[in-house]
Structure 1
């Protein structure tokens, strides 16, 4: 998934478009080489918010990309342009992975890509999306939904979460986390393939759990319990659970498990430690326990995950079809 096309037409939201360009248009060769080849595709001059821009290529080029990003659509009261809808549908039919940011889900829905699928969008517009497209299962409570070749996100910050999720899928957890640190955003927010939401770091400062998160992350190799976390936070287990759900959207134990899995991913990508050693380093106890939770959360066993991300070389060979698409995309 090395070529990314961002669809741009009049009426797109500039923040979502800009963050997609920031994530996929960067060139951090020290993180992954090759990185993505990015093109903004649109029907001639495009007005995005207060800005007038000249796309790199026409909308027809969406069908040549490995991944197509559809930013937020500003006026959800009217139908998106037919040319955009047709181009997004054609791209998906050509084999592209298509992801919408915020209200870009209305474009995907109009193209029929969300029929029979679970999807999300900005919480203010989930009811409108469901009413207009009854064949779509709209989930208003998640950050993003990954259906494999079709992905949707909620608004603003969740759009960044989805972009980082795509980077994680393509380049691994270590690269995605490093990029997130560079962008000064939390890398741990989940809402992906397992269809759960965990937002482990609270946005406000001086939160009651502000000091607890780094303390836990530094001790993932230890057998921590809810009582341990509550004692560290200076509150009862019941109060801890309430604060945790308000801050992260999940329970302390679920959050802790996800952090252990994420640490395991990084170790599998960046070290040659055995699965037993990774299980010990992440507090999972045994390789059997790690394999069970890893498979359930990530979708593949630890050994398969390691082969996928440690086998990648700077040449980044990803098969003949992808090479052909890249050549066409860059023409």
Structure 2
């Protein structure tokens, strides 16, 4: 058996960890959003990829949800004294990863090759793939002008009113080479769209030409997990963005967005009254992942749901 997960952000990494711990070694492939990638201080930063690497390797900061545990900040403190930009925080240990990635990319390695090497060094047995080795950059239009995603998300803390989004470079991008094989694997049992922000984390992945078709042609069912509980996102700006784009903050809007791509939808049990209005086969579950046990439990429920569904 094998499983493919589409993931971005902290919520996606949490479920990816549950799947990783619930499956035999080597049976999980995580397709990570790279629309959040950007160049900062001369370094190539891959926030969603790194969150996945740190989470699956047990190095993630348990308080922040991003970055490394037991991090030190000498670099940032020194940079601040020198008058450098400090709005995007890079811990000392985290900095090493960015430096090595940038060095490898400059030497001609692809992003896929760099991530695979890092995952091996960190003892990760899952395959972590970028959605593309080609640069795709999420840009957001706001009432204060157009911004790179990290400027909007970190520097401005999502305060500007969002009016639209664009995934720059997507039309000319190609799926990372290993994605096709993962989705065509005869042993594939499930494709899980993690409870990531559909518009910021999953949409950039789906914007890569050919990737949506690969998902539709996969023999295994595609299941999406609701990123909303009681009309709110557990973490992040999902509800704010939906409101500002004129999209109802509801699981129905999420299922409408995914449309025929998904075969099933996992709805939080607190929203059970909304199940009848969804255009998808629904399974109720507790989707709140506060603990490691929660993540493993939800992963098992996703896998069980996949066994109940069959693609035509």
Indicate whether the TM-score tops 0.5.
Answer: no
By relative contact order (CA 8 Å, sep 6+), the higher-ranking structure is 2
Q: Which has the larger radius of gyration?
A: 1
Q: 1 or 2, which has the higher strand percentage?
A: 2
Range of TM-score over shorter length: 0.3 to 0.5
